[in-house]
C-alpha cells in the first residue's frame, strides 16, 4: 500500500462513504424537497468510474466502504458494482463493504448483497406507524420495508435501524422502536436532525429533538451501560441491560464528534466532501475522466484530503440554524 491518507489534523482517513445516486423512491422530509430536480445521467459517475475511484481510495488506506444514495439500490445495475467490490474483501485490502438503505428494495436484493460480501446494513426507519411513515417519507410503503427487513435477516445480514429523532413526531415511539429491535435482534441508532438543504416548509429547530433528552427518557425505562466500542462511524453506544441490545447515538449538535473523524464522502458526481457539515468540496470526476485511475488521480485525492477541516459548525443553541449547508442530504449521501 502507498503512504496512507492523513488529514491536516493527523487523522487517518480509513472510511469512505460513496453516494451512487441522488435518486430515491421516497421523499423524506428532512432529506429531500417534495419536488426534487435530479441530476442528468451524464453528470453521474459510471459504475466503472465508481469502481476505479473506490479502488484508488482502498489503495490509499481506506478500509471501510459504505454505499449510500439517495437510495443506492434504485440505481440500475448497482449489484454489478457490489460484486466488483467483492475482490477487495477477498484480497484483504478492504475490511468491510456495507450500505445504508431505506429498505424498500431489500426484499429483492438482500440475497445478492450477502453473496457479494456485505455482512451488515443500516436501514433508515423513523417510525413503525404506517400513517406517520407515509407522512415522513411522503410516499409510504411501510409493509414493503418491513418485508425487506425480513429478507435481509433471512439472508444473514446484520441489520441496524437508523432513526432520525424528530420532535413531536417519533418521541412517543422511543420505547416501541427499542422493543421492536430487541425482539428482532437488531441494533438501533438515533440521529439528531441536521441543518441540511433548503429548509422550505421544514422547520429544523421545530424538528430538533436533543439526544440528551432522548437518552434521559430511555434511562427512565432501561439501565444504560456505556460501551467503548465503535464501528468506524460517529455513533456512541450504550447497552440496555434488560435486553442486551445496543443503542447508538449520533449527536452532531449536542456532542460534536469531529475530533475522531476518519471519513470523507464522495457523491455520485465525483465531488469529494471532506466534511458533511461544510460546503468545501473537491472535484474528482474531472481528474478521473482526464487521467484515468493512477498517480494523477491519487494526487487529486491527496490534495483534497489536505483541505479537510477540523470540524463542522452545526449549532441550534441560539434558536437559529447556524452552520447550515445548502445541499440536501440526498446529494452528499447519508
Annotated binding site: 17, 24, 28, 30-31, 66, 70, 100, 124, 160, 194, 258, 261, 263-265, 275
Q: How far apart are CA 22 and CA 102, in angstroms?
A: 13
Q: Which residues line the annotated binding site for GTP?
A: 17, 66, 100, 160, 263-265
Q: Tell me the backbone φ, ψ of residue 104, rounded to 5 degrees.
A: -65, -25
Q: Which residues line the annotated binding site for [4Fe-4S] cluster?
A: 24, 28, 31, 258, 261, 275
Q: Which residues line the annotated binding site for S-adenosyl-L-methionine?
A: 30, 70, 124, 194
Apex CA 276: angle with CA 120 and CA 237, to 5°?
Answer: 45
| Axis crossing angle, helix 142-154 with helix 106-115, rounded to the nearest 10 | 20
Taking alpha carbons only, the member of 108, 198, 211 closest to residue 163 is: 211
Cα separations in angstroms, 168 against 30, 182, 212, 258 = 14, 24, 16, 28
How far is the first Cα of the chain from the last one, in angstroms, to the nearest whole number?
28
The DSSP bridge pattern shows strands 96-101 and 120-124 to be: parallel
Amino acid at each position: 500500500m502507498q503512504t496512507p491518507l492523513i488529514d491536516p489534523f493527523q487523522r487517518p482517513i480509513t472510511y469512505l462513504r460513496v453516494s451512487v445516486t441522488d435518486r430515491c423512491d421516497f421523499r423524506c422530509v428532512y432529506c429531500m424537497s417534495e419536488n426534487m430536480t435530479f441530476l442528468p445521467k451524464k453528470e453521474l459517475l459510471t459504475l466503472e468510474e465508481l469502481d476505479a475511484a473506490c479502488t484508488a481510495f482502498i489503495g490509499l488506506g481506506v478500509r471501510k466502504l459504505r454505499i449510500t444514495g439517495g437510495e443506492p439500490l434504485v440505481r440500475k445495475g448497482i449489484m454489478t458494482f457490489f460484486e466488483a467490490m467483492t475482490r477487495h474483501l477477498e484480497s484483504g485490502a478492504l475490511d468491510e463493504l456495507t450500505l445504508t438503505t431505506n429498505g424498500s428494495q431489500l426484499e429483492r436484493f438482500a440475497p445478492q448483497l450477502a453473496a457479494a460480501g456485505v455482512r451488515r446494513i443500516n436501514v433508515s426507519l423513523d417510525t413503525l406507524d404506517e400513517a406517520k411513515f407515509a407522512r415522513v417519507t411522503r410516499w409510504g410503503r411501510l409493509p414493503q420495508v418491513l418485508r425487506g427487513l425480513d429478507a435481509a435477516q433471512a439472508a444473514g445480514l446484520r441489520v441496524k435501524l437508523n432513526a432520525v429523532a424528530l420532535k413531536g413526531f417519533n418521541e412517543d415511539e422511543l420505547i416501541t422502536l427499542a422493543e421492536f429491535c430487541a425482539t428482532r435482534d437488531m441494533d438501533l441508532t438515533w440521529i439528531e436532525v441536521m441543518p441540511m438543504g433548503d429548509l422550505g416548509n421544514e422547520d429544523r429547530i421545530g424538528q430538533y429533538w436533543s439526544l440528551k433528552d432522548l437518552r434521559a427518557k430511555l434511562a427512565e425505562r432501561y439501565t444504560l451501560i456505556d460501551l467503548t466500542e465503535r464501528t468506524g462511524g460517529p455513533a456512541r453506544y450504550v447497552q440496555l441491560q434488560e435486553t442486551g441490545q445496543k443503542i447508538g447515538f449520533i449527536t452532531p449538535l449536542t456532542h460534536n464528534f469531529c475530533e475522531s473523524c476518519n471519513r470523507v464522502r464522495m457523491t455520485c458526481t465525483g465531488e469529494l466532501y471532506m466534511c458533511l457539515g461544510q460546503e468545501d468540496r473537491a472535484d474528482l470526476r474531472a481528474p478521473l475522466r482526464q487521467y484515468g485511475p493512477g498517480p494523477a488521480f491519487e494526487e487529486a485525492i491527496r490534495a483534497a484530503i489536505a483541505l479537510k477541516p477540523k470540524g463542522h459548525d452545526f449549532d441550534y443553541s441560539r434558536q437559529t440554524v447556524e452552520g447550515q449547508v445548502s445541499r440536501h442530504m440526498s446529494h452528499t449521501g447519508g
